[in-house]
Structure 1
Amino acid sequence: MNRKDFIKISSVFAASALVPFASAFASQVSLRVGLIGAHGMGWANLNAILKNTNVRCTALCDVDENVLERRAAELSERGIKVKKFVSHKDMLAEDVVDVVIIATPDHWHCLQLVDAVKAGKHVYLEKPIGNSVQECDVMVKAVDDSASIVQVGQWQRSQQHFRDAIDFVHSGKLGKIRTVKAWSYVDWKKTIEKKPDTAVPEGVHYDLWLGPATKRPFNPNRFHFEFRWFWDYAGGLMTDWGVHMLDYALLGMKVSDPVSVMASGGKYADPNGASETPDTMSVVYEFEDFSIQWEHAIGIGLGPYNRNHGVAFIGDNGTLILNRNGWEVIPEKGKMEAVALQKPKDNGLDVHMQNFVRAITKKDRGMVNAPIQVGAHIAVFCQMGNIAYRAGEKLYWDRAKRKFTDRKANNYLLAKYHNGYKIPRV
Structure 2
Amino acid sequence: MSQNRRKFIKNAAISAGGIGMFSILPSSVWGANIAPSDQINVALIGCRNHGFNILRHHLNNEGVNCVALCDVDENVLHERAKDVKEAYGQNPKLYRDFRKLLEQQDIDAVIIGTPDHWHCLIFVYACQAGKDIYVEKPLANTIGECDIMVRAANHYSRVVQVGQQQRSNEGFNETMEIIKSGDIGRLRKVNIWANFNYGIGATPVEDSSVPEGVDYDFWLGPAPKRPFNRARFHGSWRHFWDYGGGLFSDWGVHLIDMGLWSDDLLGGPERVITYAGNNSNQTGMRDTFDTMNVTYPKKNYVINFDMNGGVQEGPWGKPYGVAFIGDKGTMVADRAGYKLYPEYDNNTESHKTAARSLSNISDAHDHHVRNFLDCIQSREPPRCTPEMGYAAAVHAHIANISGRVGEHLLEWDDENMRFTNSEKANEYIIPEYRKPWKLPEV
- TM-score computed with the length of structure 1 as normaliser: 0.94
| 1:215-242 Cα deviation digits (max 9, x unpaired) | 0010001101101100000111111111
Distance 1:191 1:425, change over 3 A: closer
Could you list the runs of 5+ residues in structure 2 that have no partner in the other structure? 346-350
Equivalent in 67, 71, 91 of residue 62 of structure 1? 71
Check whether the contact 1:9–1:374 (CA below 8 A) recurs between aligned residues: no
Equivalent in 234, 241, 244 of residue 244 of structure 2? 234
The equivalent residue for 1:389 is 403
| 1:99-130 Cα deviation digits (max 9, x unpaired) | 11110000000000111111111111111110
The equivalent residue for 1:374 is 388
The equivalent residue for 2:420 is 405
Equivalent in 204, 208, 219 of residue 194 of structure 1? 204
Greater alpha carbon shift after TM alignment, 394-403 vs 299-308: 394-403
2:97 is the alignment partner of 1:91: no
The equivalent residue for 1:44 is 53
Distance 1:9 1:395, change over 3 A: farther
Equivalent in 149, 153, 163 of residue 139 of structure 1? 149
CA distance in 2, matches of 1:254, 1:353: 22
Q: How far is the alpha carbon of 1:343 from its aligned partner?
A: 1.7
Distance 1:420 1:281, change over 3 A: same
Check whether the contact 2:191–2:305 (CA below 8 A) recurs between aligned residues: yes
- TM-score computed with the length of structure 2 as normaliser: 0.91
Check whether the contact 1:260–1:397 (CA below 8 A) recurs between aligned residues: yes
The equivalent residue for 1:118 is 128
Please, what is the CA RMSD of the aligned residues? Answer: 2.0
Distance 1:325 1:345, change over 3 A: closer
Q: How far is the alpha carbon of 1:170 from its aligned partner?
A: 0.9
Q: Give 3-state SS (helix, strand or coil) of 2:235's partner.
A: helix
CA distance in 2, matches of 1:158, 1:314: 22
CA distance in 2, matches of 1:4, 1:150: 17
How many residues align? The count is 424
CA distance in 2, matches of 1:146, 1:259: 29
Check whether the contact 2:200–2:284 (CA below 8 A) recurs between aligned residues: no
Q: How far is the alpha carbon of 1:10 from its aligned partner?
A: 3.8
| 1:232-275 Cα deviation digits (max 9, x unpaired) | 00111111111111101011133344331111131211475320
| 1:169-213 Cα deviation digits (max 9, x unpaired) | 112222233221112111366543321110000000001100000
2:69 is the alignment partner of 1:53: no
2:288 is the alignment partner of 1:274: no
Distance 1:418 1:65, change over 3 A: same
The equivalent residue for 2:139 is 129
CA distance in 1, matches of 2:354, 2:311: 29
CA distance in 2, matches of 1:228, 1:325: 25
Equivalent in 396, 402, 415 of residue 431 of structure 2? 415
Q: Which amino acid aligns with 2:352?
A: M
- Identity percentage of aligned residues: 38
Equivalent in 283, 305, 320 of residue 309 of structure 1? 320
Check whether the contact 1:215–1:419 (CA below 8 A) recurs between aligned residues: no
Q: How far is the alpha carbon of 1:13 from its aligned partner?
A: 4.7
CA distance in 2, matches of 1:144, 1:17: 26
The equivalent residue for 1:214 is 224
The equivalent residue for 1:355 is 371
CA distance in 1, matches of 2:260, 2:158: 27
Q: How far is the alpha carbon of 1:9 from its aligned partner?
A: 5.2
Q: How far is the alpha carbon of 1:96 from its aligned partner?
A: 4.5
Distance 1:72 1:410, change over 3 A: same
Q: Which amino acid aligns with 1:210?
A: L
2:191 is the alignment partner of 1:175: no
Distance 1:32 1:331, change over 3 A: same
Distance 1:359 1:16, change over 3 A: farther
Check whether the contact 1:267–1:278 (CA below 8 A) recurs between aligned residues: yes
Check whether the contact 2:331–2:338 (CA below 8 A) recurs between aligned residues: yes
| 1:350-379 Cα deviation digits (max 9, x unpaired) | 1111111111122x132x111212112211
Could you list the runs of 5+ residues in structure 1 that have no partner in the other structure? none
Check whether the contact 1:16–1:369 (CA below 8 A) recurs between aligned residues: no
CA distance in 1, matches of 2:15, 2:425: 28
2:334 is the alignment partner of 1:323: yes
CA distance in 1, matches of 2:198, 2:247: 13
Greater alpha carbon shift after TM alignment, 402-411 vs 241-250: 402-411
Distance 1:80 1:270, change over 3 A: farther
